[in-house]
Copies of this chain bind each other. A is one copy, B any other.
Amino acid sequence: MTNPRVWKSQIAHEIRTKISEGHYQPGDMLPSIPDLIQHYQVSRETVRAAIALLATEGLALPERGRGTIVRDTHPVTMTYTPGAASRTWKEQTQGSDQVVYAAWEEADPGVAETLGIAEGGPVVRRTRHFTRGRGVVQTVDQWIPQHVAGAVAVDLANREVDDQVNLFELMAAAGHAPATTTETVGARMPTPDEREDLSLPPGTPVHVTHRVTRGEDESPLETSLFVGAGDRVSSTFTVPLNY
């Protein structure tokens, strides 16, 4: 044979099919492990391996003492719209955001390069958590170079300053008016830290947005890294066409 025995994939495939055909609805309990052992006449670990596969695909959520729940596949409940600010977040999502960290730091190589400053140069770093319902849905790290942060009328290294809209307006007032943002959007699996911060179930990717805000002269004014729960955050962009 070219293949080893196939129980694991076989069982996973059958359950996956039953989910996609609606035999098992989101919220339903899957048959218990002992039931599946009976049904397929295989060992416990084999059944668990099949379920684990479905879990990493985001289709099932095993819970100790209760059973295995069929997950809602794409409950994309929230939209982050770029080029807008946290005011928009609140309006659109009825969520909230909170500054959890703000301080002067030395720019690491990556940040220094995107901001066009010297490595190790002074930057303000601000970390925010965006919340909706219970639980953090997106985290943001923001870096602002000294020549911008120092020109602004408030102390950005202070957690009190918590409104993005004001920040952009303050920048404008300080002679650093933001003109455009460039956002690069990608996906990857979360680090263990991110899984904890965002309470991610197994098999849920994160949605990563790297933003650079520039002034009229194209000089970078700030850069941010948004990391959102892949099953709860998406981004919408509208772009005029030229072809």
Contact = CB atoms under 8 A, between A and B. Distances in A.
Contacts of A73: 188
Given A56-B189, A188-B205, A205-B188, A181 B239 contact: yes
A180 B240 contact: yes
A239 B181 CA distance: 5
Contacts of A207: 185-187
Nearest to A182: B238
A241 B184 contact: no
A236 B187 contact: no
A53 to B, nearest CB: 10
A242 B17 CA distance: 47
Given A74-B186, A165-B243, A182-B236, 15 more contacts: A58-B188, A83-B241, A85-B243, A178-B243, A180-B241, A181-B239, A182-B238, A183-B237, A185-B185, A186-B235, A188-B205, A188-B230, A205-B205, A205-B230, A237-B239
User: Which of A165, A186, A234 lies at the interface centre, i.e. has the most chain B CB atoms within 10 A of its CB?
Assistant: A186
Contact of A189 (B57, B82, B213): B57
Given A16-B192, A205-B205, A205-B230, A241 B178 contact: yes
A231 interface: yes
A107 interface: no
A234 B185 contact: yes
Nearest to A183: B237
Interface string A23-66: 00000000000000000000001000000000011100000000
B205 A187 contact: yes
A136 interface: no
A186 B239 contact: no
A194 to B, nearest CB: 11
User: Which of A74, A82, A237 lies at the interface centre, i.e. has the most chain B CB atoms within 10 A of its CB?
Assistant: A237
Contacts of A187: 187, 205-207, 230
22 contacts: A45-B45, A57-B189, A57-B190, A57-B191, A58-B189, A83-B240, A83-B242, A85-B243, A180-B240, A182-B237, A184-B234, A184-B237, A185-B234, A186-B230, A186-B234, A187-B187, A187-B207, A188-B230, A188-B231, A189-B203, A213-B241, A237-B239
